[in-house]
Structure 1
Amino acid sequence: MTGLTRRGLLGASALATIGLATGCAKSGEPSRSGGRSGGASSGTLDWWDHFSSFQQLNDDWAEKQSDELGVRVVHTYYDASKAVQAYQLAHQANKMPDVYSNIVGLPLAALVSGKWVHELTLPDEVLRKIPPNTLTEGITNLDDKLYGFPLFSFRQSTTLVWLNKDHFAKADLDPDDPPSDYQAYKDACRALASAGVTPMTLALGADGSRIRDQVDDMAQAAGFPGYQGLKFTTGEYAYHDDSYVTVIEFLKELYDSKFMLPGTNNFSVVDARTRYATGAVGIFIDGIWCAGGSKALVPEFVDKIAFGPILVPLPEAQPWTYRGRPSATWFVAADSEDPEKASLLIASLMSDEYQKGMIAAMDQPPLNLDLVAESDAIDAYKKAVAFCGENVFLMPQAIVRNPEIAAVDAERKPVTPHLGNIVQGYLGGSITDLRRELKKLSDAFEADREQAMRKAQSAGANVSEDDYIFSDWKPGADYEIT
């Protein structure tokens, strides 16, 4: 999965859920199962996405659905680094595909008002298969109309530890007993280095979005009681909390100890995953989709993959993280000439057959997690899904309690430099006072929310900062609004 503007399919609000889940992208030009460059035309449904692990699955599914729907379905894959621009250009030219994946980077309200999306009409039997707490006003729905279809479970992580079995064996380490805390991880890195293996890499470079997401995850596992700097119980931004400092100082120690492959500070997700899949390192910190992404790059590497959990500072700490309700994965374009069949194409993705295909591809887990245990996926992927199922919890969200928060999200602006940029600067030495920079980031987010709140209130939205306060939240459990 490649991080672009994504803040996760699983964000703290509609803004945080935009740009769903960029799939395991690898570089290259668009890969097409047929035809034209975009725009609906009579007798054809165009289907675009950026999920590299699903390329063959979606090519095959397009052929199958061509027969089922009685219309030619043309599937086109775009590398995630190219998808945003391709979608923007297609929208400007009124040549959007009928069905497309969510990577545009706009809140749902903006997608609707900007004529990006068409209302979805799904059969009742499909709606009945969607798990509770999945379709949400302001995230997938607006004004009680369904616009976005969420295909992935929220119980997933961007920040798991993936091992190379051969390298661990060379260092006399047991891949079935992976490091789970900071000290054990550092010990494993030292053992790998002593065995002549470069210990690790991660995606530190590009726009910093992946390391931003991963530090957010690790901060939760280090005890931060919130998501993306926002505390659940107080509704305040606190990137300068000790948990964030602890995580970033740990990364700094790994960096300064030269445990990271040279060039890591410049690696995009694809760069880093390619090094892992070609055997250049013993460990790669990546999302739950790592097995699928690595398979797409180097198929023969899959048997060497082993799983490790998100790291915690101390052995006794709980590796708990928190995610919001799923955001949309798929949209129908506003100008589709056949929105009914486009909706039926999306509906077909909820079938057990397609969801089993998703599991075989080992990308993000599908909504139906019950299918994973008995699948043909490798053990490392099954362990990752099981771990997330036990340690990723549903978090409180302002937009779930008050859908009018969507009006605030629509007014939010990107805050730069963001957390990932600060991590890049601190590891590289251009930032020396880490906590001061994190406090400035907290203040910048508070200021941005305040200006967005004022604009939303001026436009008539019934919202307040109290909507972000969940004093009854408890760690280690799914949050349910009562």
Structure 2
Amino acid sequence: MPDHRNSAMSRRGFLTGVGGLAALAACGSPRGGAAAPAKSGGKQAVITHWDKWATQEPWVKKEVELFQAANPGITIERTLQASGNLENLLDLAARGGNLPDVFMVAQDRLDEHIQQGHVLDLSKYATLEWQKTFPAYSFVEGVNAADGKIYSAPFDGYGTEVQLYLNNQVFKDAGLVEADGTVKIPKTWDDVTLFAEQITKKGNGSVHGLGFGNSAFPIISWWVSFFVNGSGTPATLPSSTPGGLDPRTGKFTLRTERPYLDFLTLFLEWRDKGYIFPQSLSIDDEISRQHFARGKFGMIVGGVWNQPGWTDLGFTDYTTVTMVPQDGQRKSFFYRGAGSVHLAVSATAKNPDQAWEWFRWWHGKEAAARFVQELKGGVSIHPEANDPGKIDFAPFAQFVAGAELVLPGPQPSLRNPATIHVVPKPVTPSFEDICTGLYTGQIKDMRAALAKLAEDLEREFVKALEKAGKDGHKVSRDDYVFADWDITKPYKWDIPAYLGA
């Protein structure tokens, strides 16, 4: 699975993609982003590249082929690091003086790489003219730039992190269809309950309403995030906001709000009534996706990375649902920040000019169009690539259309770039642990567990603020409080549209 926005949700090592996708056909000019063939100074330049994109591998391989055809003086030696932690491997490579020339970098580690001198300042190449090939607010101090120097660029656009998927055949077998024969789409939590009940009854023990796979890593929190979004609380926030913190108050109260408590209570009711596939705790996410494709249950929550894998299995008869508010009335949205991190160029690259050409190609508009329209790998930062009229697969088009529900939200690092140095330590049990513990029955008192979590998060946040202050960074809790935020409207960022402007 991909590491799309380097978010907390998508960064948990979801690296086991599904191989065997059909080779992508080249479309349009072979020059991504209209990059002219690079001048290699009469020598063959070899650029080493590391990424962890397993599901997206067909696109990566195709882009390497197209780039090398357009730039005969440059060879890309790409390594897929699909096992282990890429950041740990980069740390080992840096210690040995063997960093790849171009590599994927996690957003919460970019500052560390900058401080250690691992990444190249791209300002020489990333001119204002080049920045303006991206939408406004793509390059942001404290996100992918520091001290006026650009170190990375955005790749992904702002789609919803997880969606609810419906197996159309399972719905039809259960009689959940409209008069025109299309499957019924749940509009409320009650709808999901009723649909799950009907599927389970019709399935007579062989088909269930809902399912997931929790054995490899915690999944239940995905369900919470999906169903709480839209239900009156800002469940999804820009990545520089600590988990559980409410930007409206600066306090760790989000997960003790009513929508969280209501949904967790409902989820446990689904379990107790037998609506959930009984082996969900003992199988992993990949197996659960295969079970869903084979009709063992009717609904699953997951990301867009599921779709290429299902296509590989020959399964395309499903529907994508972007949001299901509690009572059907949308009272909040999904939220995003400005700017993001994706690739970096090594400060020790022997051929930085050629490395930049590859970096530029990867982030170009034509490569983006192939990523969205051929691979159907996600939403691009380039709006042109997300043209629904050029997407020929309905479930993916439904996902792309859901991007309108992702609004700009308040981001502490935009107000004060120094907040990048505030890194609270993880707490145990985490929210994900608590969700699993409630489901297994190991945790009995939901309210007490979530209240204790809020206390633990507050404690570590205060420690992180104090440490950043001792290290000479001017930060405070005030950087995290946006009392004027109306969660039903886009938040206006008070930052330059482009760094060089």
Range of TM-score over shorter length: 0.7 to 0.9
Q: Which moved more, 1:464-473 or 1:165-174?
A: 165-174
CA separation of 1:91/1:270 partners in 2, compared to 1, >3 Å: closer, same or farther?
farther
Which position in structure 1 is the counterpart of 2:421? Answer: 407
Q: Does 1:148 align with 2:139?
A: no
CA separation of 1:126/1:279 partners in 2, compared to 1, >3 Å: closer, same or farther?
farther
Partner amino acid, structure 1, of 2:262: T
Which position in structure 2 is the counterpart of 1:73? Answer: 76
How many angstroms apart in 2 are the aligned matches of 1:324 and 1:160? Answer: 20
CA separation of 1:213/1:406 partners in 2, compared to 1, >3 Å: closer, same or farther?
farther
Please report the RMSD computed on the Cα atoms of aligned residues, expressed in angstroms.
2.8
Which position in structure 2 is the counterpart of 1:202? Answer: 212
CA separation of 1:97/1:256 partners in 2, compared to 1, >3 Å: closer, same or farther?
farther
Which position in structure 2 is the counterpart of 1:99? Answer: 102
Q: Give, in angstroms, the shift of residue 214 of structure 1.
A: 4.7
SS of residue in 1 equivalent to 2:315: helix
Which position in structure 1 is the counterpart of 2:381? Answer: 367
Which position in structure 2 is the counterpart of 1:379? Answer: 394
Q: How does 1:36-55 map to 2 (within 5 A)?
A: 43-55=45-57
**Contact map agreement 2:2 2:56 (CA 8 A) in 1:** no
CA separation of 1:481/1:145 partners in 2, compared to 1, >3 Å: closer, same or farther?
same
Q: Does 1:398 align with 2:412?
A: yes
Which position in structure 2 is the counterpart of 1:35? Answer: none
Which position in structure 1 is the counterpart of 2:61? Answer: 59
Q: Does 1:235 align with 2:250?
A: yes
Q: Give, in angstroms, the shift of residue 235 of structure 1.
A: 0.9
Partner amino acid, structure 1, of 2:364: S
Q: Give, in angstroms, the shift of residue 366 of structure 1.
A: 0.5
Q: Does 1:475 align with 2:475?
A: no
List gaps (5 residues or longer) in structure 1.
30-40
Q: Give, in angstroms, the shift of residue 274 of structure 1.
A: 2.9
SS of residue in 2 equivalent to 1:75: strand
List gaps (5 residues or longer) in structure 2.
21-42, 238-242, 495-501
Post-superposition CA distance 1:406-425 (Å, at most 9, x none):
1223xx21222211111000
Q: Give, in angstroms, the shift of residue 286 of structure 1.
A: 0.8
**1:172 pairs with 164, 172, 175, which one?**
175
Q: Give, in angstroms, the shift of residue 59 of structure 1.
A: 0.5
Q: How does 1:61-460 map to 2 (within 5 A)?
A: 61-69=63-71, 70-79=73-82, 83-84=86-87, 86-103=89-106, 106-120=108-122, 121-122=125-126, 124-154=128-158, 156-174=159-177, 176-196=183-203, 197-208=207-218, 210-225=219-234, 227=237, 228-238=243-253, 239-295=255-311, 297-298=312-313, 300-302=314-316, 304-318=317-331, 320-359=333-372, 360-372=374-386, 373-389=388-404, 391-409=405-423, 412-460=424-472
| Residue-pair matches, total | 453
CA separation of 1:201/1:81 partners in 2, compared to 1, >3 Å: closer, same or farther?
farther
Partner amino acid, structure 2, of 1:333: S
SS of residue in 2 equivalent to 1:26: coil
Partner amino acid, structure 2, of 1:140: N
How many angstroms apart in 2 are the aligned matches of 1:267 and 1:319? Answer: 33
TM-score scaled to structure 2, two decimals? 0.82
Q: Which has the larger radius of gyration?
A: 2
Q: Give, in angstroms, the shift of residue 480 of structure 1.
A: 0.9
Partner amino acid, structure 1, of 2:147: D
TM-score scaled to structure 1, two decimals? 0.85
SS of residue in 1 equivalent to 2:281: helix
